[in-house]
Structure 1
Amino acid sequence: MHRTGLTELEVVLAVAHRKSFRAAARELGMSATAVSNAVAGLEARLQTRLFHRSTRSVALTEAGQRYVDRIAPALAELRRAAEEIKAAPEQPAGTLRINAPPEAVSLLFDPLLRHYLARFPHMRLDISSQSKMVDIIAEGFDAGIRLAEAVPQDMIAVPLTDDARMLIVGSPGYFAKHGKPQTPDDLTRHQGIGMRLSHGGVYQWELEHHQQKFTVSMTNRVVFSEMRSIRQAARCGFGLAFVSEWFIREDLASGRLISVLEPWCPSFGGLRLYYSGRRHVPAGLKAFIDLARELRCAQTAP
């Protein structure tokens, strides 16, 4: 019986990820012909078509999707095994792949990511910034970063930040023109700056005070899908924004933004690094976890 080569499996995963034979070839450092031949050879031995092909697109067949779902975790384990063998225990080496929302990456760049690369010069970070949740095991990631409430229950979670609050903020110029809301009901008479969620809907503001909950459907003058644009729009006086205090601390301190209705603004669990506990923790991930805990202890030390 012919043994399926690891190179062929890597090729299949690369084509499935890139949805292009040429892009997969560039990623793997192979010729497009070699990639095409590897896929064709594997399909012949499996007697199953793995990809639908046209002159403009490449997509997995149903059987191909099932195959990729099964081999991706196994190949990820093989890569980690090779990297751990090459890495000395005191000096990890290899690539640490993390999936995280874009805002989390910018928030954690300094100090965590910068310190990690400085302390472990033989490690590389491969961070995929995605708003939507993904299955980190099936997609071949070592770990993910999400808010505490979004971490899957079967994962081990490590706190990266303290809890924070969502705050309703506006610019001094906006409040000078429109006044400040005194109650949640007043918000319906104000212009909002909306947040587009990954599933396509617009986030509804959720307020709470003394166990009394209030959901606000704002009339949004403008809607964005990422926090930096929302913050900039609030600074420019486009309307009121409902944003995490993580991203606006300097604006609040300088007076560029002013918060209102703070008693109604709830706190939420902070960012968590999460990973599967069903396997040996790779040296690079363990070093990342240890550094995150070290930095949090330093922040909370008197």
Structure 2
Amino acid sequence: MKGLVQLKVFCKVAETGNLTEAGRLMELSPSSVSRQLQALENELAVRLFHRSTHHVGLTEAGQFYYQKASKVLLELQDTHELLLEYQSGPIGTLRISTTQGFANFYLGHHIPDFLEKYPKINLDIQVSDQMVDLIQENIDLAIRYHVPDDSSLIARKFQNTEKMVICASPTYFMRRGYPASPEDLKKHNCLCCWIKNSNRWIISHEGEKHKIHVSGNLRSDNIPLLLSQAVSGLGVIMAPLWMVDNLLRDGSLLQIFSEYRSQLGSECDRFIYAVYPHRAHLPSKVRVFLDYLIECYS
């Protein structure tokens, strides 16, 4: 077991390039990490790292050792999880990284049901709109709006986000009235995000297309903020259906022009992806979560 701990510490330092960060991820002190590395180098009689004040980098021997050691650890983890699953089904802690919008407006509504179906799974959810290093941060699966440029990751498309809806709160419509036609949106307070051409709303129906330049007193790069303000009655918003579906169901928002096809003038990826590290065996805790997401969206 001592050799296994040293191997894990070595790989984590190689991945992070920092003793303190590796220790944080493994819940070890930097001094303990340093002792483990020194013991491993003494045992192998070879220098594995170049060390400086703020960074450590692999030597040529260290690079060779990491290529072999990382595969051994991954195979060992897969074997361990296979045995647990063989005995009791999907089990363990599922570490998920997701965006703020997906966490707030979709995932949060389905967590209780998923955990009820799989009581032996614990969820550890990190919310960030930045793409984290899945290997370094020990993330099993990430939810993202684009495909990462990394051949070591698999991106599985599971939802088309193209379906957009235009909506506002009942209090807003009581105060300002309903727009009678798409062109009337020019007279309304429209909430827009910081995406190129996001203030150009394209609304079409049976060959009739309206390209409307809307305006309003609030613009932000934070979609949850815009949605919260729409719910509070500030203005009209165009948002993906998946993001506002629950708000429409409970009456917090009311959809207008439902017979029209709505889209933003910006060009962006129209899908949501589940991203996870490439491995020979996909743990059942990841597989059942992926299947659950697809089932919810279908």
CA apart distance, 1:123: 2.6
Mapping of 1:116-155 within 5 angstroms? 116-133=114-131, 136=134, 140-146=138-144, 150-151=146-147, 155=154
Which residue number corresponds to residue 107 of structure 2?
108
Mapping of 1:188-267 within 5 angstroms? 188-196=186-194, 203-204=198-199, 206-209=201-204, 210=207, 212=209, 214=211, 216=213, 218-223=215-220, 225-227=222-224, 229-249=225-245, 251-252=247-248, 256-262=252-258, 263-266=260-263
With normalisation by structure 1, the TM-score equals 0.65
Q: Structure 2: how far apart are the matches of 1:40 and 1:216?
A: 64
What letter matches 2:169 in structure 1?
A: S
Contact 1:194/1:202 (<8 A) preserved = no
Q: Structure 1: how far apart are the matches of 2:58 and 2:162?
A: 43
Q: Structure 2: how far apart are the matches of 1:42 and 1:212?
A: 68
Q: Structure 1: how far apart are the matches of 2:281 and 2:210?
A: 43
SS at match of 2:142: strand
Contact 1:97/1:127 (<8 A) preserved = yes
What letter matches 1:114 in structure 2?
A: P
Contact 2:19/2:30 (<8 A) preserved = no
Q: Which of these residues, 1, 22, 26, is aligned with residue 28 of structure 1?
A: 26
| Alpha-carbon spacing, 1:226–1:80, altered in 2? closer, same or farther (3 Å) | farther
Identity over aligned residues, as a percent?
23
Structure 2: tracts of 5 or more residues without a match: none
Q: Structure 1: how far apart are the matches of 2:210 and 2:134?
A: 34
| Alpha-carbon spacing, 1:95–1:238, altered in 2? closer, same or farther (3 Å) | same
Q: Structure 2: how far apart are the matches of 1:250 and 1:47?
A: 52
Q: Structure 2: how far apart are the matches of 1:211 and 1:275?
A: 42
Which residue number corresponds to residue 45 of structure 1?
47
CA apart distance, 1:156: 6.0
CA apart distance, 1:258: 3.4
Deviations 1:20-47 (A, max 9, x none): 82x6545534333213444677898235
What letter matches 2:262 in structure 1?
A: C
| Alpha-carbon spacing, 1:249–1:92, altered in 2? closer, same or farther (3 Å) | closer
Structure 1: tracts of 5 or more residues without a match: 54-58
CA apart distance, 1:238: 2.1
CA apart distance, 1:272: 4.8
Q: Structure 2: how far apart are the matches of 1:60 and 1:208?
A: 55
CA RMSD of aligned residues (A): 4.7
CA apart distance, 1:233: 0.7
SS at match of 1:284: helix
Q: Structure 2: how far apart are the matches of 1:32 and 1:276?
A: 27
Count residues in correspondence: 275
